[in-house]
Amino acid sequence: MQSNEAQDLAGIKKKLKELLVEDLSLEDIKPEEIGDNEILFGEGLGLDSLDAVEIVVILQRKFGLEVKDLENRKDVFYSIDSLAKYIYENKKKDA
């Protein structure tokens, strides 16, 4: 059971990194170079608020999540790890 969760999370993280590089047109960065706990906004990966718009769209369109649930969830946008956990938990709820 534990290994299934770990596997699912790893899969989500891999997909997220690929989508971030592609949809945010991150130049000179390969998906595998993004750390799971790297800070996404400001320092770290250096994303800005317009990149956040794209991330919200990724969460909606690629993972079927609703934007209304993301209000006041600053913690979700901290890193790939926090995003992946949020996606995993919310997709599980829907299943």
**For residues 5 and 69, which CB has a smaller minimum distance to another protein in the complex?**
69
**For residues 2 and 48, which CB has a smaller minimum distance to another protein in the complex?**
48
**For residues 10 and 67, which CB has a smaller minimum distance to another protein in the complex?**
67
The DSSP-derived string for 20-72 is HHHHTT-TT--GGGS-TT---BSSTT-B-HHHHHHHHHHHHHTT---GGGGTT
Smallest separation (angstroms) from another protein to the CB of 48? 6
Is the separation of the CB atoms in 64 and 91 below 8 Å?
Answer: yes
Footprint on this chain of another protein (rule: CB under 8 A) = 22-23, 25, 41, 48-50, 52-54, 56-57, 66-68, 70-71, 73-74, 77
